[in-house]
Amino acid sequence: MAARLLKAIYGSCKHYTLNDEREKELLATRQPILYATWHFDFPGIAYLFGSYLEKKDIVKGTVMVSASQDGELVARVLTIFGFDVIRGSSHRKGVEALTKMIKMVKKGYYTGLMADGSKGPARIAQKGIILVAKYSGAPVMPVITTGKPRIVFPSWDRTHFCLPFGTIVTAFGNPIYVSSKATREEIETARIELEKQLNILTERVEGVLNRI
């Protein structure tokens, strides 16, 4: 029911996309992509990439979901959308989950991670997806999608849930590549770059929504 509701509501909205040229170039190569977003963005990202799977633009997709009890509903919704779900987070089964994700990416799966993890702090990138990039060879693609009018939940991440017949804007950043020989310092540099891009994209999307 939750999956159907999400599809119906987000499907009723007008959708606009910004700066998707680099993403289209990567999709054309058929190489796996590691999509990274903020945790507040979960409903929009689930809808966006669920539509990718339905259209078969991306044949296989996997996503990491918290191994907590609260993550169970999220995992079920994503499964209905067509994703393979890996359970784990930085706080529980993190190493095991990242190892599984690296293996899936090497098999050709596109994947996604909430850059600020399962418990935050909000809009502070963690290094998990950077490590997946290092060991899989896939690029990280920052992306933000949200809309108005919307409900903002009083959770740690301030989850956005758009209302019917609203406007949704999606913005892509520039891919981040991480060498298989990247040092700790280089991993930290990539983490900071991801955090910077996601915050810039968030501000850009909000700016467009305020002008529409």
Closest CA to 171 of 22, 14, 31, 57: 22
Residue-wise pLDDT for 107-118, tens only, equals: 999 988 899 987
DSSP 183: -
Render 82-142 in DSSP notation, one character per residue.
T-EEEE-BTTBSHHHHHHHHHHHHHTT-EEEEETTTTT--TT---SHHHHHHHHH-PPEEE
Q: Is the pTM of this model over 0.85?
A: yes
Q: What is the pLDDT of residue 96?
A: 86
Contact of 114 with 42, CB cutoff 8 Å? yes
Beta strand 140-152 with 160-172 is antiparallel
Residue-wise pLDDT for 50-60, tens only, equals: 877 766 555 67
Cα separation, 66 vs 74, whole angstroms: 9
Q: What is the pLDDT of residue 84?
A: 84
Contact of 166 with 13, CB cutoff 8 Å? yes
User: Domain span at residue 201?
Assistant: 2-211
CB atoms within 10 A of CB 120: 15
Residue range 28-47: mean pLDDT, rounded: 92
And the tokens for 61? Answer: 């997709």
Report the CATH number at residue 52.
Answer: 3.40.1130.10
Number of structural domains the chain divides into: 1
Residue range 80-101: mean pLDDT, rounded: 78
Label residue 77 by pLDDT band (50, 70, 90). Answer: confident
Residue-wise pLDDT for 183-211, tens only, equals: 999 999 999 999 999 999 999 999 999 99
Residues above pLDDT 90, as percent of the chain: 65
Residue-wise pLDDT for 92-109, tens only, equals: 667 888 899 999 999 999
Mean pLDDT of the chain: 89
